[in-house]
Amino acid sequence: MNLYLNGMGFRAIEVLKQQSFEVRAQVEQVSIDMWGRFPNVVEKVFPNAVVVIDRFHVMKAVNQELNKIRKQVGALGRGSQFI
């Protein structure tokens, strides 16, 4: 069983714990945003789940950092041969 946890807020623990422990223990993976308190929710509610950070947020963070470096070294524009 897989679960996608997106934008549920702090009521998530209450809502998810309404499921029996046996059901929650069967969750194998939970895909979450990389920020916020979602990892804590997953840890408390799904004891056997592996946290998977969704690719969109990982790539967004990587691109933001790359753009900072591009600006620092002056490598801007489509024709640039750097970064």
- Rounded CA separation 76/55 (Å): 25
27: number of Cβ within 10 Å: 19
Mean pLDDT for the chain overall = 80
* pLDDT tens sequence across 4-41: 555 555 576 788 889 999 999 999 998 887 767 778 88
The pLDDT > 90 percentage for the chain reads 27
Burial bucket for residue 3 (CB in 10 Å: 0-12, 13-18, 19+): middle
CB 40 within 8 A of CB 72: no
Q: Does the predicted model carry a pTM greater than 0.95?
A: no
**Angle ∠(38,41,42) on CA atoms, nearest 5:** 90
* pLDDT tens sequence across 38-69: 788 888 899 999 998 888 888 998 999 988 98
